[in-house]
Structure 1
């Protein structure tokens, strides 16, 4: 049986970001994974977690789904705090062992010290930004793809050795015409590719 840790990176703001959409995708992912024989645990950035207990979840997991709303072009600050604290607690303890460089072996490069080499992660994002702003030189992100716009998050996981799965993102969530049923179908298609493909 494969193990999946679903990380809720949501940060609560009343009337603006209450976490309902984030929770919808977490619940869908959990149901999909359990139906397909995966074991699931949860982590929540905005909670009274113990970093060392969280590290044990990371050591247990084969896969990670990181579900969060994009705030100001990146992870919510409580999610950043969670990663800072938990990954630091995982130094030489399942997450990473130094930055990978070695005084005795110049071929070892920065960023190669991750201890999660056999693990994979999936970003699942909720966005107000329309999808059309990505991969368009005239768009807000100057031609960057969705994943390129999230290079800092990807590099954090790469530093720890984990490999990326396909990213899912729902866009234009405040526009008023969000077709949630179509988005649910897209989400299940990405889950199917990432975990059953």
Structure 2
């Protein structure tokens, strides 16, 4: 049986970021994984978590589904704290890959985990800001604008899958059912 760890990287802010959209996306992913015979474990970083248990989950998982809202162009601080605490707590998921004996070994190539990960992102900005030389992100693609998150997983030895993102979340005209269908399509593409 394939094993997936769903990480909920949402950080709650009253009136602004209640977590409802993140919860809807995670519920859709959970349903998809269970329907397709995945064993599923969860982490919700804004609730309490046990660092030792989190280390075990990362080693256990074949896949990671990581859903988070992009706050101020990056991870919510509580989610960055989660990675800092779990990944620097004494177990070595990776070394930096370099070797005194073999100069061809490159920094960041020493990941000790295997498997794949998928980012699922919620944004207030429109999709038109990405891959647009005149856009806010200066021509960067969605994945390039989230390079620091990708590099966390790459350093661990995990391989990226297609990213899902939803945009203009505060605009008021989002069709949630359409977005959940689109998410399920990305999940099928990545996991089946």
Structure-to-structure mapping, 1:76-87, within 5 angstroms: 76-87=76-87
Can you list the C-alpha shifts for 1:157-189, whole angstroms capped at 9, x where unaligned?
111110000000000000011111111111000
In the alignment, structure 1 residue 62 sits paired with structure 2 residue 62: yes
Q: Aligned in 2, Cα 1:44/1:167: closer, same or farther, shift over 3 Å? A: same
Task: With the length of structure 2 as denominator, give the TM-score of the two structures.
Answer: 0.97
Partner of 1:110: 107
Cα offset, 1:47, TM superposition: 2.1
Match of 2:154 among 152, 158, 165: 158
Q: For 2:124 and 2:111, locate their aligned partners in 1 and report how far apart those are by CA, in whole Å.
A: 33
Query: What's the CA shift for 1:91?
Result: 3.3
CA distance in 2, matches of 1:21, 1:100: 38
Q: Deviations over 1:58-92 (max 9, x none)?
A: 11100001100000001100000001111112632
CA spacing shift, 1:182–1:119, aligned 2, 3 Å: same
Shift of 1:56: 0.3
Deviation at 1:194, TM superposition (A): 0.5
Partner of 1:100: 97
**Matched positions, count:** 192
Q: Which residue of 2 aligns with 1:172?
A: 168
SS in structure 1 at match of 2:120:
strand
Distance in 2 between residues matched to 1:121 and 1:15, nearest whole Å: 31
TM-score (normalised: structure 1):
0.95
Q: List, as ranges, runs of 4+ consecutive aligned residues in structure 1 with deviation greater than 3 Å.
A: none
The answer to whether the aligner puts 1:185 opposite 2:181 as a matched pair is yes
Q: Secondary structure at the match of 1:89?
A: coil
Q: Aligned partners of 2:49 and 2:151: how far apart in 1? A: 24
Q: 2:47 & 2:89 partners in 1: Cα distance?
A: 17
1:103-133 deviation digits (Å, cap 9, x = unpaired): 12111110011111x3100000011010011
The question of 1:73 aligning with 2:84 is answered no
Residues 96 and 107 in structure 2, CA contact (< 8 A), matched pair in contact too? yes
> What residue ranges of structure 1 are gaps of 5+ in the alignment?
none
